[in-house]
Amino acid sequence: MTDPATPTIPGTTPTTPDAPRSDLHELLTALAGDLRNVGYTVDGVAALLGESAHTALARDQLIPALIVTDPAALNGDSTTDRAKAALAVVVRLWLLAVPQTEDDVDAALPGIRTSGLAVLGLVEKNDAGAVAAKVDVRPYGWEGDSGADSSGSGGAELWVASDLAAHQRPGVLRHDHVLGIGQASTTLLQTTIRRHSKRALDLGTGCGIQTFHLLHHSDHVTATDISARALAFTRFNLMLNAEALHLDPADLESRVSLRLGSLLEPVAGETFDLVVSNPPFVITPRSAGEHASEQFTYRDGGLPGDDIVATLVRTLSDVLAPGGTAQMLGNWEITAGTGWSERPASWLTGSGTEAWFIQREQVSPELYAETWLQDASEGRDRKLYRDAYVAYLEDFASRNVESIGFGMIWLRRPADGAVDAGTVRKEARRRFEEITYPIEQPIGPHLAAAVERADWLDTHELADAYLVVAEDVTEERHQRPGAEHPGVILLRQGAGLRRTNLLSTELAGFASACDGELSVRQLVGALAAILGGGADFDDEAFRAGLLDDVANLVRDGFLHAAG
């Protein structure tokens, strides 16, 4: 029975095939209450499994958790034992995908019971009469989005439904598989700069996890996807967590709009303050006559090579309000004899969009093929695996691709709209850097600070500034035994992007004198007086070069304005 108070959002229906129903408000309320009462939360599951089994489960290794939750290991007569046994039933049903008896499910979830779960499309009876999971439903929580404003960023206990993953089910994944919370989605969550926005866009929402976070600092979120099943899962997750997300189930459209369609088509003519996207960026071989149903919609954009990411980088500024930003993940192809940044840079030709690319990984075509064939469990079919592997290598070879890069992308439409096509205000506005070592997470607040520093440099006269060394910065000096002076002087950051900067003698002297007492102009002048004086000393070039080096230290966060 459909709840008439719950509107159907465009792009979804209450009965999308093989997707959970989101139109039965009473059942959803009962399910949320049962999950909360049985302790099916992030902390509750961690306490039940213990550190070792919980850590293994995060690696998709089920055996330790199966051992810990075995009914024989949890038998007991105390209230505590019965509570653990009830939670174990839910953990085994959804996280471990082990069918449970109807009596055990009814006892663990007495408000909704097996019958209600079946109506919602979350479980089904198998041939043996046991209750089997049709989808994955798992707890999700966070302490609050660092950097979000006071409009509401408190922690929340939520539940997220998605399709069963490769380690939970046999066979190759279905092509319209709806991905759960994976490494890529978590990376984007940690990367996103959290500031209040009136309108935000979650492009390629999947199960809706980015929308969850956007709701905490955005007045309204539009979530799009090319898959009707993905939008149905997103709607289910929003309705299941309506209370925690401060949503009105009877008026969901006032905060969230779900749109079905490809790329920017569903939002043509609209603008947003913030766009986030974990797009289907995986580079997948295309074959003649291939139909969209043969592609994995959660990862394959349907375009050759890295064109899906290229298209978004070129067009996202069309839906950004002045000063609006976009953050996304992506792959890019690196052809033989070229640097990794050449192709991403070409996507910005003729555009006034500001951009920052950070490459986090670079892999060979062979490793790339192995990663994504394993992702969809295609290795379970030996012939399919071989044919697909060969297709990957031939596809990359056809474009002379030597390796594939992965990383984070930040874009901004200039606030004043006055930047001429093909130009930027400063070189830093088109930044390409490779950072493959571990960085601090979440990195979003540090990226925000970096953008603010670049903006500060644009609007202030650096020579008149008074600078101090950032609190997380340390200095290292290396010299050979017996040497009078160090041969290497390094500045290291302990936080954020954790950069290391090799200093010249004059730059090291400048940094050591940055205590906020003298201006940059005064410090540069003092160093010119100390180190200059020779006939071949170019005072003007020395001052200009040192000033540029100081600007880089400010831009990277080693130095900042005093006060």
CATH code at 487?
Answer: 3.90.930
For 74-86, how does the pLDDT look when each residue is reduced to its tens digit (9 = 90+)? Answer: 776 677 788 999 9
Integer Cα distance of 444 and 300 in angstroms: 26
CA-to-CA distance for 192 and 148, rounded, in angstroms? 10
* Total residue count of the chain as it appears in this document: 563
**Chain centroid to CA 551:** 30
Whether residue 540 is contained in a domain is answered as yes
Q: How many structural domains compose the chain? A: 3
Q: What does the pLDDT read at residue 542?
A: 95
Q: H helices then E strands: how many in the chain?
A: 18, 18
Short-list 273, 91, 101, 278, CA closest to 196:
273
Q: Which tokens belong to 493?
A: 């950051």
Would you tell me how many other CB atoms lie within 10 Å of the CB of residue 399? 12
Cβ neighbours of residue 471 closer than 8 Å, sequence gap 6 or more: none
The DSSP-derived string for 147-204 is: T--TT----EEEEEEE---GGGSSSSPPTT----S-HHHHHHHHHS----EEEEEEES
Question: Is the domain of 420 the same as that of 484?
Answer: no
What kind and span of H or E run contains 409? strand 401-412
Tokens 């006071």 correspond to: 150
3-state secondary structure 446-495: HHHHHHHHHHHHHHCCHHHCEEEECCCEEEEEECCCCCCCCCEEEEEECC
User: Phi, psi (5° rounding) for residue 239?
Assistant: -70, -40
| Co-location of 402 and 475 in the same domain | no
225 and 318 part of one domain: yes
Q: Is residue 453 part of a domain?
A: no
Would you say residue 19 lies in a domain? no
Of the chain, the percentage scoring pLDDT greater than 70 comes to 88
- Which residue reads 């129903």 in tokens? 21
Are 185 and 128 contained in the same domain?
A: no
Residues of the chain with pLDDT under 50: 1-12, 145-154, 292-293, 417-428
Q: Which of 117, 134, 151 is the endpoint of a domain? A: 134
Is residue 326, in this structure, part of any structural domain at all? Answer: yes
Give the per-residue pLDDT at 51: 96
Question: Are residues 177 and 59 part of one domain?
Answer: no
Q: Tell me the residue range of the domain where 337 lies.
A: 162-441
Give the per-residue pLDDT at 367.
94
End residue of a domain, out of 82, 115, 134: 134
Short-list 360, 343, 347, 325, CA closest to 436: 360
Domain match, 40 and 91 both? yes
CATH no. for residue 211?
3.40.50.150
Classify residue 269: in a domain, yes or no: yes
- In-domain check, residue 194: yes
pLDDT number for residue 150: 32
116 and 183 part of one domain: no
Residues 398, 311, single domain; the answer is yes
Do 175 and 293 contact (CB within 8 A), yes or no?
yes
Task: Look at residue 380 and tell me if it is in a domain.
Answer: yes
Distance CA 434, CA 450 (A): 16
Instruction: Specify if 258 maps to a domain.
Output: yes
Contact of 131 with 125, CB cutoff 8 Å: yes
Pairing verdict, β 354-363 and 430-434: parallel
- 548: its two tokens: 């540029």
CA distance 359 to 356: 10
Instruction: Give the CA distances from residue 213 to residues 156, 208, 238, 550, in Å, rounded to whole numbers and listed in that order.
Output: 10, 9, 11, 37
pLDDT of residue 387: 87
Answer for the pair 3, 74: CB distance below 8 angstroms, yes or no.
no
Q: Does 367 lie in the same domain as 316?
A: yes
Q: Are residues 423 and 491 in the same domain?
A: no
Collapsed DSSP state (helix, strand, coil) of residue 128: coil
DSSP structural state of residue 90: H
Q: Are residues 193 and 312 in the same domain?
A: yes
Does residue 55 sit in the same domain as residue 169? no
What is the residue whose two structure tokens read 């490769």? 166
